[in-house]
Structure formats: C-alpha cells, structure tokens
Structure 1
Amino acid sequence: MKFVCVLMATLLSATAVHAQQAIAPNPSILPNYIMGPSWFPTILKPYQQELIKPLVMENSPRLHDLIRNGKLRLSMADTLALAIENNLDIAVQRFLHPIAEADVLRASSGQAARGISGALVPSGLTQGALGVGVNQFQGAGGVGSAGGISGGGGAVQIPQVGTFDPSVTINFSLDRTSSPLNTLQVAGVPQVNTTSTAFSSSYTQLFPTGTSFTYNLNGIRQNSTQQYLLYNPAVISRFTVGINQPLLSGRGVLPNKRFIMVAANNMRTSDELLRAQVTATVVQVENAYWNLAAAKEAILAAEQTLEVAQRLDDDTKGKLEVGTVAAIELASTGSAVAAAQRDLIVAQTDFQLQEAQFKKLLSKRIDPELDAATVDTIDQLPEPNQRDVPELNTVLAAALEERPELRIAQQDLANQDVSARFTRDALLPSVHVFSLYAGAGLAGDNSNLTGGAGKSLYQGFSAQYPEYASGLSLVIPLRNRAAQADNLRARLEQQQLEVSAQRLKQQVELEVREAMVSLTQGKAQVQAANEAVKLASRVLDGERARLESGVSTTYNVILRQRDLAAARQAQITSSVTYAKALVDMHRATGGTLKENGIELRDALTGEITRHPSPPFQAYQRSNAESK
C-alpha cells in the first residue's frame, strides 16, 4: 500500500509539471493565473474565488500633472505615455492576456480550452473530450460478491476515466428497510428488517500519456432480522485499484494535452493581439497629434493673414483720407479682412474638433478639468530627413518578421496543426488494456467471535480474499466515416489557413511598398511646398513695393496675400502628410513600438516604466540646430 501511495504522488507531481510547462510564468509585477491557487497552507483556497485587480476607471495622475494654468502642454512622448496608461481600446485588449492565462489553467486540468477573441481554437479538437467515461466505470464499485450467499465472478471492464485534476468522491448513507418475504427457507422469518450504514469513496485521475488510474473503497454495515446469517451485524468491505492504458487512438501526449498546446499558443497570440492594438492606437494617436499640430499651425497662419489684411485695410483707409486711392479700393481690402476672419473661424473650429477627439484618445473619462483645458502641442511637424527613407528589401524583411498579424497567423497555423495531428490519431481503432486488483472483507458478530470494520478492512488490504483481472477492450468503428470527415476537414482548414497566411504576406508587402511611395512623395511635396512659400512671400513683398511706388493696385496685393495664404496652407498639409507617411512606414514594417521606445509590458500593465522616445523629437532638434 505504501508503494501505491508513493507511485500516485510521483505521477501527480509529473502531471502538474507537464501541465504547467506549457508556458513560462509572467514577470512578478503581473498577476499569474496559470498555476491556480495552491493547497498550501490554506487547503480551502482552491474552492474560493481568486482575487483579481480592481478596475480603475480614473485617468492616470500624469494627465492632470501636465495640466497647468488651464493648458495641457504635450510633447509626443507625453502623448504616447498617456495613451498607454488611459486609452480604453488598449485597456479592453489588455484583458486578453489574463483570460488566456485562465484558459491555460482550465486546459491544465484536462478540460477543453475555451479560447480567446481573435485566436483560433480548431473545431477538430472537440472530437471526444478528456475524461469521457468517468460515469461509465464498471466492475470496481460496490462491495462485489462479499457477504452474499454464493461466490461470483464475471466480465470486468475498466474504462478510461478522470481528468488531469484528481477527483475524490465520498458518499455516506443510512438506510432502514422492512421487507415481506414469500418463503421461510432463506431468512427463516416472513418479514426482514434491515438497518444499513454504507460508505463509499473513490479517487480518479488521467495522466498525459492517456493512462487513467482509479481507486475505490466501499463498505457497508448491516444489521438484519434474518435467522441464518453467519454474521449479524455484518461489516462488508471492498477496495479496488484499476488502471487503463490506450494502445492506439488516445495514446501519448498529443491526444491528451492538445488543449494545453492550443491554450499555450493562444497565450502568445494574446500578446500579439495586444501588440496589434497598441500599434493601431499609437498610429491613431500620432496622426491625431499631427492633425492637432497642423490645426494649430493653421490658426497661426490664419491669424497672420488676418493681421496682414487688417494692416492693408488700415493703410488703404489712411490713403483714402488723403485722396491717394479710390473708395472702391476700400471695399476690396474690407472683403479681404472678412475672408481672413472667416478662415480664422474655420481654423479655430477645426482645432476644437481635433482637440475633442484627441482628448478622447488619451483619457478614460473626460472630467471637468480636462474638458476645460486647452491642448498645446509642443513638438513641431517633422521636416524631411534622408534617413527617413529606408532600403526597400530591408523593410520588407523587417515587416515579414515583425508584423503582429503575421505572427498571429503563424500561431493559428500551429493550432490547426495540432488539430490535424489529433484527428489523424483519432482514425485509429480504440484499443485499451486494463488491469484490476481488488480485495474484500467480511466480519461481524456471531456466537463464536466478534469483529467490525477494522477486521473487515484488514481482510481486504491483506489480500485474504483477492481478485485479479486484466483485459483488453477493442472498439472498431466500421467504415469510420466520422473520423475520416474530421481529419479531412482539419487538413483542408490547415491548407486554407496557409493560403490566408500567404495572402496576408502579400498584403503586408503591398502596404510596405505603398508606404515607401507615400514617404518619398511626401518628402518631395514638403520640399516643393517650402519653396512655394518662400517664392510667394517674395512675390508679395514685391507687389507691396510696387503698390508703394504707385505702379500696382490694392487688389493685386490682396491676390498675392491669398497666394501666400494658400501656399502656407499647402505647406502645412504637406508637412502633415509627410508626418503621417512616417507613422505609416513604422506601422507597415511592424516597428511602431520599437521606433517609439514603447515596452509591450508597459502596455500590458498600463504603467509606464520606460518613457516613450518617439523619433520625431530628433527631427525637431536637428531642425532647431540647422536654424
């Protein structure tokens, strides 16, 4: 019996190790749900809810620390830090990681994985289920033929039972019956009254190799009014140890740990899904930042245009008073002032709309202080840099290696491969070998001796009345069409995923090429727009000089002012287009997080341990130095 206990402990320990090796534990700063609660030192902990971190729906302290005198002054680095801490899209996706950990915990017990949103759990894995047959166990329950009126034997079957988590069942009952009899030959009385106290317990477990183990202990104490009993009261006991091992279908690690394999793959998929969401959010935030910076520049340009138009209008009024210009000139300058005021209002309205969208991206909720604050972007729109345009083959290789969408597709293929191999195993017939050892005991009171439960159990465990059984169970499904269909579907779905992965690679390569074209064109547009502003400014200065010399008209000056305003707006638009092209290049190559110095673990925890360092700051410093 000691040997059996040692063997059980060894097998249980091995099962726990194998189940938890599916994935390494997370850093200590993150909660770890993979292992589940420990029995030690609180044995009731597995039957209680495990603690989870409470929800925090308030904005991070960083957001309010940056608000000073009613202004929210933000660099791109501060903006990205706020997005990591507060953006609700990232917060929603952040739950996938602990959910995937809970799925690993569930699969480690031997149950089917439930999957996570965005990750594949192949349908072929659900053919059968781990632990099937627990309630079909035969030949090891009850007290057998001990205590009867004749010995007995017969067919024995020990099916595969249990899950990776051991299960203990205990049952206790009291019963009193009164039965009329139609003969006196057996009991010696016409009515039999029986009082029974019964106890039963069982232990079942399934191991990763497909081996299942069961242990049962049953006992009953009966006191009866029958006349011809050997013992009255009588204590009858029986214990059984059964082992079942599949030889073909269901043998080995793959069929029994398939859900653990998939859940472990989905753990990695959850990180890539988070990476994809963080990338999308960072792209959205960076574009919103540049839109807001452009709206701010547009307001400054509109104010300068209004100032120039107002100055020209004032000069025209002065000349009208001394009679050097016609009154019709005043109408032209007044119209230019009104148009400039209109453009300023449009620019201010656009800034307010961009600002509202920007605040939403950086906060969990817009409280009164944030609502009243005006966003002031610090970083300037980036100027073209020769280093911005990389070599095509280099970025193509980086994109195929780093894009989270491709990594997710590879994990889905790995899951589908598990399904294909499992359904191939399921094509085989079901062949199981099993063994049973049982011991029985019978004790009680009679005229010669007195005994009880201790003596009855001793008889069973000391093999005074042993039972040995071994056998083979064979199930051959004729034609085997269901298993064939499952295997065909699993392999067809695997090929479908391979084609989808290739299609995704083509799409990634196309996005990289498009990003390269956009970046190259954006660079040329910025250079052309800068030159256009310089020339428009010179033309305006010349037209003013001609007006002062009396060889031009106020209308011509207004036209040149409009040309300069259009050139400035085109300059702002081209700069924003170029900035967004840089952002899209980082996204297309899968380097958004790396280029901005963002740690995925910070996104997972929602706490910044390393401040982001976007590359746009370097452009601003180089521009400032060149000026």
Structure 2
Amino acid sequence: MKKILIVILFVFVLTLPNLAQDQDVKALSLDEVIEQALKNNLDLQIEMSNPEISQALLDKNAAIFIPTLTFDLGRGSTTTPSSSIFTGADVERADSGILSFTISQRLLLGGSLNIILDNSRNSTNSVYSNINPRYNSQLRFNLVQPLLKNFGLTATKRNIYVARNNKDKSLFALKQQVINLIYQAEEAYWNLVYSHQNLEVKQKSLQLAKDLLKQNEIQVKVGVSAPMDILTAQAEVASRESESLQARSQIQTYEENLRRILNISQMPEAIVPQDKPLFSPLQVDFNQFLLEALEKRPDIEQVRLDLKSKNIDVRYFRNQLLPNLQLSASYYAKGLSGTPQDVDFSLLPTDSVISDIGGNLNDSLRDVLKNLYGNYSFGLQLSVPLFNTSARADLVQARLNLEQSLLLLKKTESTIYSEVKQIIMDLETTAKIVEANRISRELAEQKLVAEQKKLAVGLSTNYLVLQYQRDFSNAQIAELKSLIDYNLALSRVNKVLGTTLEKHQIVFTEMLLKK
C-alpha cells in the first residue's frame, strides 16, 4: 500500500510541470509591480479622494471673504381715503419704487463692511406735494468691528487655518499610505521570489535523490548494494516530492497575495518575478538616520500639523473669554430730486421752508456722489456675560487637547527613535546572517561532493549521502531566505526613514497630478 501511494504521488508531481507550462506567464520586475500597485490598488484609490474632500472644505471656509452683492427691486402703490384737509386729495394715491445695491464684505480682523446704494421714486396725487415725482438716493457705508472678543486673524480665520492643516494632514496620510503600499508590494514580491527559488532548490534536491535511487537500483542488480538501500532512497524521494508539493502551494499563496495588492486577481497569467535578491551593503549612521526620519516621515508631520491646529484652538477660545465690545460706524450721503409742482402755500405757516429742488434720478445720484448732504454716526456697544462658563469650558477642553497632542508628538518621536534603532540592528544582523549562510552553503556543498566521491568508492553509505544532500538543500534555502530578509530590511529602512519615494524615484506631486 505504501509503495502504491509513493507511485501515485510521483506521477502527480511529474504532471505538475506540464500543467504549469500550459498556463500563460507574466514576468514582472519589482519596479513594474510597484507601478501597478500605485495604479490599481483599491485602498490607495479610496485614500486619494481624502485630499480633494479636505480641499473642498478649505474652499468652503475661505468663502467667507468673498464679497456678496445683493440687488433689491420693488414697486408698490397705496390708496387712502382723505381724513384731513391737508391730505390734498379726496382719495390719496401714492406710488413708490425702489432699487438698491448692497455689497457686503467680511474683514480680516473680524469686522464687516456694507456698502449700500438706495434709490427710490415716489409720486402722489396730493396737491400739497411740491416735488412730484420725487427721487431719493442714498449711499451708505456701515462698519461693524469687534474690538475685544472676535477681534483678530485667529478669531476670523480659525476655521480656514484648521481646514488648511487638515488638508495637509490628508496629503501626508496619503503619502504614508503610498509608502505602506510600496512596502507591501515589495514584501509580497520578495516572498514570491523566495517561493520560486525555494521550489527550484527543492526540485534540485529531489533530482539528486532520484539520481541516487537509480544508482542504487543499478548497484542492487549487479549485487554491489543491498535492497535496503533502494527502500531508503525511495523513502527520501517521496519525502522530497512532498516538500516540492508544499513549495508549489507556497507559490500559489504568495502569488495570490501579490495579485490582491495589485488588484489583478482575475488576470489569467501566472506571475513570475524577474528580479533576484542581491546583497548590497549599506553604510548606517544612527544620528543621520534619526534626523532624516524626524524630518521626512509623514506620520510625525501629521502630528505636528495636529499640534498647530490645537494651538489655534487655544488662542481662539482664549479670545472668546473677552467681553464683546463692538464699534459701529456709519457714513451716508443723501440726494433728492424730482419735478417741481405749483402748490398753494396759503394754508401753510409763513415760516415754513420747502426745498426747491428739480431734476430726475441722475440729479439725485449726482448729489450723492458730490456728498452735498453728508451724515455720520458711530457708537460702542459692550456686552459682558455674568457667568462665562461655556467659554471657560471650551478653553479648558482646548488646552487638554493641546496637551494630548504634545504627548502624542513625544510618543511619535520616541517610536521613531526606537524604530530607527531596531532597523539598524536588523540590517546589521541580517547582513551577518547572509555571510554566515553563504559560508555554510559552500561548506555543505563541499561536504556533499566529498561524500558522493566516498560513496562511489564504497567508503560511505546512502544514508550519509542523503543526509548531506538534505543539509546542502537546507543551506541553500537558508542562504536564500537570509538574502530575502536582507532586502526586506533595506525596504524597511526606507519605510522607517520616510525615504521610500526617493528610493524608487517617485515624485509625490506628480503622482497626484496623474491621479
């Protein structure tokens, strides 16, 4: 029964290469994988919309300084029965029309300025109206300016400052997402490289076991070796066939992980990595690495921007504790014109004075522009809350939020310090492991060659040769794994220092424009 299972397993393994050859292959380099990841990854596409959302919110908050133009157009008519001899008509009828323009502007220091141009036309059937129709014009400048509470740039532009910081935070968050995605792509790619080379080593080891099995079969036939040697070799072939199957399964797992990152799960071709892991020594300098990480990492930039926003909140809510003192000032010029009418003034007091003004609406506007009838007013209004509990609570909360941001900045700096220290240790350790595994692989190969020569002259056993074959295979895999780990450590160096984009010559602003 055991021999039947071994034969079935052997036949199945032989058919796998043919199946793999029938499948189309797509060879990808690491740079191509990174390019496709940045182009197709869905998580990145979702994150890409956040800066646009933040920009829209910034534009919305900045819109408070856009002037507002208001038009007011109206017409009316009233009919009133006479109740006095001074009405001037049995049934008085009055018609009116208005046309006004208002420009409203928010000021940087918190005030507001309104410029109003009013024009009206009034007519009546009263015999006592000496200007009929009558045109009135007025140009008014109204200023309202806080002097304590709500005074200053911080009080006025607080939401703009915070929105701008949030927009920059979203850009740094996107940059961090890009760095993480590149590292994920690199990790998935090198794992796939490892799985392919691991299978190659396993297949070579399997072939060595098969060659030894054939050699033993020949020696048994000629009576040089015992049949037990064949069973030992067959068992080893079956074991190594099982390892090859596991290596193939590992390829499928790592390949599917890379497909998910690249968003190409439905692509029919099998992915075959082109690049091979190399050993490129890197000079390390802890102080230089630390300064570079503190300067370039997106996560600490986000914390710093959040700290700026919290400082703005503290200044704003401290201002809200002040009394509300407002300056109100107004200056306006009037104009009057119309069509003079003959009026019987016998009923009026002898000292009455009625302006003798003629003309049309243009004359009224001319009077306004010449400032013939100027008027002004100004005043102060003070409002002091008896209990400013709400504003004090807001300030306390803002200060606590600021303290939290300060602590978060210290924590982030400490994390960066620890990560830089750790990655340097990892890099140095993996470099030493690469060298140690290289020497181990060379020695294992020399031992195997020597033992095969001894077996050929009858000075060794199948057991020792198979053991040295396995040792050599394990040494090859260990060297390969250490090379992969070293290349991943180099990728982590770039990730920890925030230099991943520079390493791969990716310009962040150009990437945003392409998107």
TM-score of the aligned structures, taking structure 1 as reference length: 0.69
Counterpart residue type for residue 78 of structure 1: E
Q: Following superposition of structure 1 onto structure 2, how do residues 180-199 of structure 1 map, counting pairs within 5 Å?
A: 183-184=83-84, 187=87, 192-199=92-99
Q: Does 1:272 align with 2:226?
A: no
> Is structure 2 residue 330 aligned with structure 1 residue 422?
no
Deviates more, 1:100-109 or 1:206-215: 100-109
Q: Which residue of 2 aligns with 1:63?
A: none
Inter-partner Cα distance in structure 2 for 1:595 and 1:510: 22
CA distance in 1, matches of 2:280, 2:109: 62
In the TM superposition, residue 577 of structure 1 has moved relative to its aligned partner by 2.0
RMSD of equivalent CA atoms: 2.9
For the residues of structure 2 that align with 1:417 and 1:177, how far apart are their CA atoms?
A: 59
Segment drifting more, 567-576 vs 99-108:
99-108
Identity %: 27
**Equivalent residue number for residue 165 of structure 1:** 66
2:386 alignment partner in structure 1: 478
Instruction: Give runs of aligned pairs for residues 272-351 of structure 1, distance below 5 A.
Output: 272-351=172-251
- Partners in 1 of 2:301 and 2:117 — Cα distance? 51
Residues 294 and 573 in structure 1, CA contact (< 8 A), matched pair in contact too: yes
Instruction: Evaluate the alpha carbon distance shift between residue 361 and residue 269 of structure 1 in structure 2; reply closer, same or farther with a 3 A threshold.
Output: same
The whole-number CA distance in structure 2 between the counterparts of 1:438 and 1:199 is: 17
Q: Verify the 8 A CA contact 1:184 1:190 in the aligned structure 2.
A: no
How far apart are residue 558 of structure 1 and its match? 2.7
- Aligned pairs (5 A) from 1:533-572: 533-572=441-480
What is the Cα deviation at residue 310 of structure 1?
1.7
CA contact (8 A) 2:130 2:341 kept: no
> Which of 404, 410, 416 is residue 502 of structure 1 equivalent to?
410
Structure 2 residue 277 is matched with structure 1 residue 381: yes
Q: Which residue of 2 aligns with 1:575?
A: 483
Change in CA separation of 1:517 and 1:393 when aligned onto 2, cut-off 3 Å: same
Instruction: Pick from 63, 67, 80 the counterpart of residue 109 of structure 1.
Output: 63
Q: Are 2:28 and 1:74 equivalent residues in the alignment? A: yes
Q: Aligned partners of 2:383, 2:217: CA distance in 1, in Å?
A: 106
Please show how residues 44-193 of structure 1 align to structure 2 within 5 Å. Answer: 70-110=24-64, 164-178=65-79, 183-184=83-84, 187=87, 192-193=92-93
Structure-2 change in CA distance of 1:463 and 1:605 (3 Å):
closer
What is the match of residue 18 of structure 2?
none
Distance 2:295 2:307 in 1: 16
TM-superposed deviation, 1:300: 0.8
Q: Which runs of 5+ in 1 are unaligned?
A: 1-68, 111-163, 608-627
Q: Distance in 1 between matches of 2:450 and 2:92?
A: 127
Matched residue, 1:468: 376
2:372 and 2:474 mapped to 1: Cα distance?
Answer: 106
Preserved CA contact (<8 Å) 1:86 1:606 = no
| 1:263-298 residue CA offsets vs partner (Å, 9 max, x unmatched) | 443444344223212211121121112111111111
More displaced 10-residue stretch of structure 1: 459-468 or 294-303 = 459-468
Number of aligned residue pairs: give it.
Answer: 479
Contact 1:384 1:526 in 2 (8 A): no
Q: Secondary structure at the match of 1:567?
A: helix
Structure that is richer in helix per residue: 2
Deviation at 1:168, TM superposition (A): 0.5
* Structure 2: tracts of 5 or more residues without a match: 1-22, 343-356
CA distance in 2, matches of 1:339, 1:179: 114
d(CA) in 1 for partners of 2:470, 2:81: 115
Which letter does structure 1 place at the counterpart of 2:113? F
Give the AA of the match of 1:319: Q
Structure 1 residues 450 and 572, CA gap change in structure 2 (3 angstroms): same
Tell me the TM-score normalized by structure 2. Answer: 0.83
Write the letter of the residue equivalent to 1:165.
Answer: I
CA contact (8 A) 2:92 2:125 kept: yes
| Alignment partner of 2:285 out of 391, 404, 415 | 391
Residue 606 of structure 1 and its aligned partner are, at CA, apart by: 4.0
Q: Secondary structure at the match of 2:382?
A: strand
**Cα deviation per residue 1:131-165 (whole Å; 9 max; x = unaligned)?**
xxxxxxxxxxxxxxxxxxxxxxxxxxxxxxxxx11
Bigger Rg over Cα: 2
The CA distance in 2 between the partners of 1:284 and 1:572, in whole Å, is 20
Counterpart residue identity of residue 213, structure 2: D
